[in-house]
Amino acid sequence: MTVSDQNDSTHSYAEADANVKEFAISRVFDAPREAVFAAWTEEEHIKKWLGPSGFTIPVARINLVPGGMFHYCMRAPNGVEMWGKWVFQEIVPPERIVLVNTFSNKYGNLTRHPYVPDWPLEVLTTTTLTETDGSTTVHLAWSPINASTTELKTFDSMHEAMKQGWNGTFDQLAAYLATISID
């Protein structure tokens, strides 16, 4: 999808200003790669850890095939709901997931970020999992797709907030992995 307006040029991320950087974050989890992959890709698990602390995932539907999607609702402690979806591009169990991440409505239609109107409509997300001595390193990378110059600047300005958000989410994943056994 391409987004444009009269005051802003539209281009793919590959053509973006060199000052706009991919967002990347990594964390090591004390769990085998297969368990982390299952926690990341199975409805019953992802509902237990995804999102900011205090949020719940009352709706989570995953069709884990290329072209399939994860459509979910994230509910804040005050009851406000945000919907999102991941459209899977590549799945290599248990080592790699490539998807397009978007906000959506409850029907799965693409929407703008509910609080940051200049957030890119689509973000390419690449998640890799590598295992060393029973621990798994998750590396997550985000890059805007077909974003306007304004959206690219917004994305670039939000790296610190994304880092804080993902660190909190990774804390929840670590705590969840410590309580389960996935075979």
Q: What DSSP letter does each residue of 96-159 carry, written as one string? A: EEEEEEEEE-TT--EE--SS-TTS-SEEEEEEEEEEETTEEEEEEEEEEES-BHHHHHHHHHTH
Mean pLDDT computed over 78-100: 97
- In a domain? residue 8: no
CA gap 100, 90 in Å, rounded:
10
Kindly indicate the confidence band of residue 20, based on its pLDDT and cuts at 50, 70 and 90.
low
pLDDT, residue 183, reads 64
**130 falls within a domain:** yes
Q: Are strands 96-104 and 122-132 parallel, antiparallel or unpaired?
A: antiparallel
Number of domains in the chain: 1
Tell me whether residue 15 is in a domain.
no
Q: How confident is the model at residue 100 (pLDDT cuts 50, 70, 90)?
A: very high
pLDDT above 60 for 136: yes
Please write the tens of the pLDDT for every residue from 137-162. Answer: 999 999 999 999 999 999 999 999 99
pLDDT digits (tens, 9 = 90+) for 39-82: 999 999 999 999 988 999 999 999 999 999 999 999 999 999 99
- Residue 56 CB neighbours (<10 A): 15
The amino acid that residue 130 corresponds to is T
Q: If you average pLDDT over every residue of the chain, what do you get?
A: 89
Q: For residue range 121-135, what is the model confidence (pLDDT) as tens digits?
A: 999 999 999 999 999
Say if 127 falls within a structural domain.
yes
Give the model's pLDDT for residue 80: 94
Of the listed ranges 5-19, 91-105, 145-159, the least confidently predicted one is 5-19
Is residue 52 included in any domain, yes or no?
yes
> Does 14 map to a domain?
no
pLDDT at 119 over 60: yes
Looking up residue 49, the CATH number of its domain turns out to be 3.30.530.20
Q: Show the domain range for 72.
A: 21-177
Could you tell me if residue 101 is inside a domain? yes
User: Mutual orientation of helices 33-41 and 159-177 as an angle, nearest 10°?
Assistant: 110
In this structure, which amino acid lies at residue 145? I
Q: Is position 4 within any domain?
A: no
Average pLDDT rounded to a whole number, residues 29-47: 97
* Mean pLDDT (whole number) for 14-39: 82
pLDDT at 19: 47
Six-digit token pair at 153? 């600047």
